[in-house]
Amino acid sequence: NSLSDLLIFSADISVAEKVKIICNRKNITIKDLAESLGTTRQNLTNKLSRDNFPEKEMVKICKALDCSYNSIITMNDTDEQI
C-alpha cells in the first residue's frame, strides 16, 4: 500500500472507529478510556455511536490514548494548509 492509499483509507474511517482501533491496539477498554476522560462508559459509548466529537474533545481523547491529534484543513485551490 502506498501512503496515499493509507491516507484515503484513513479518511474513510469514522472518528469513532479510529478511537476504537487505537483502543484495541493499545489494549485499552472503552471503560478505561471513559474513566481517564472523567466520564462513564455509557456516555462515551453513546458519543462513539453518534460519532460527533468536537475538536477540543478529540484532543483530550488523543491525550488519554497517548496519541497526537492533527486537524489540518487544506484549501484545494491553493493547497494551503491551515
What count of other Cβ atoms lies within 10 Å of the Cβ of residue 5?
A: 9
Question: Radius of gyration of the chain from Cα atoms?
Answer: 14
What count of other Cβ atoms lies within 10 Å of the Cβ of residue 39?
A: 13
Tell me the mean pLDDT in the region 45-58: 93
Looking at the predicted structure, is the pLDDT value of residue 32 above 80? Answer: yes
* Beta-bridge mates of residue 74: 81
Looking at the predicted structure, is the pLDDT value of residue 54 above 60? Answer: yes
Cell numbers given for 59: 484532543
CA pseudo-torsion sign 9, 13, 15, 20: negative
pLDDT of the residue at 63: 96
